[in-house]
Chains A and B, each alone.
Chain A
């Protein structure tokens, strides 16, 4: 049963600390997305990669957020320093360009910054 995995599932941290979230896309998928979901803003695209190259990160605050794909099986999203307004659920999704645009979502990382 292929699925996107994310770690950690929950994270509570204090303002100013670094937060790293990890995502393992579905094997064979070449496109990875990072989303943030809040009650007020809904689901927002932060960044996405194709074949490990960043294609769009316009939705991401550049001063504190960074996203990378060290290899095809791992995507990371870092926040440094974290702020209370970063509290949200962060979803990773993957897709295969060439087999339609269907995105499959991971279970999410629920982040609370105190």
Chain B
């Protein structure tokens, strides 16, 4: 069983809708959680980090963390075609220093 799990998708949403991306992780002591966006042929770029239970909002993006249920999600409001990319969930599992374990990514397609 993978330590960080994501649905590979593709997740298809119409322009203007809310896209909801989910991620589950295996280690209860994980403390740091990250969402990266990766466009085709490009490198991953950080969108959000979250460390505490609850919601964290940044513009159109909201990260949600529930440590008891071991999941973290990313909501994208007012989705735009430019949001079409693969979204990678990354978790600092246990006491792993700076090490992150990445999920396989969810491919998001926003249709005009």
Contacts and interface: CB of A to CB of B under 8 A. Distances in A.
B105 A42 contact: yes
Contacts of A31: 97-98
Chain B interface size, as a band, is 20 to 34
Interface in A98-114: 100-108
A42 B104 CA distance: 6
Contacts of A48: 98-99
A78 interface: no
A104 B32 contact: no
A88 to B, nearest CB: 13
Majority secondary structure, A binding face: strand
B32 to A, nearest CB: 5
A91 B32 contact: no
Contacts of B90: 103
Given A100-B49, A101-B92, A50 B99 contact: no
Contacts of B98: 31, 33, 48, 50, 95, 97, 101, 103
Nearest to A106: B43
A108 B97 contact: no
Given A48-B98, A100-B32, A105 B49 contact: no
Interface residues of A, number: 21
A72 to B, nearest CB: 16
A112 to B, nearest CB: 14
16 contacts: A31-B98, A33-B99, A42-B102, A42-B104, A42-B105, A43-B44, A45-B99, A45-B100, A45-B101, A48-B98, A101-B100, A103-B46, A103-B90, A105-B36, A107-B42, A107-B43
Interface of B: 32, 34, 36, 42-46, 49, 88, 90, 92, 97-105
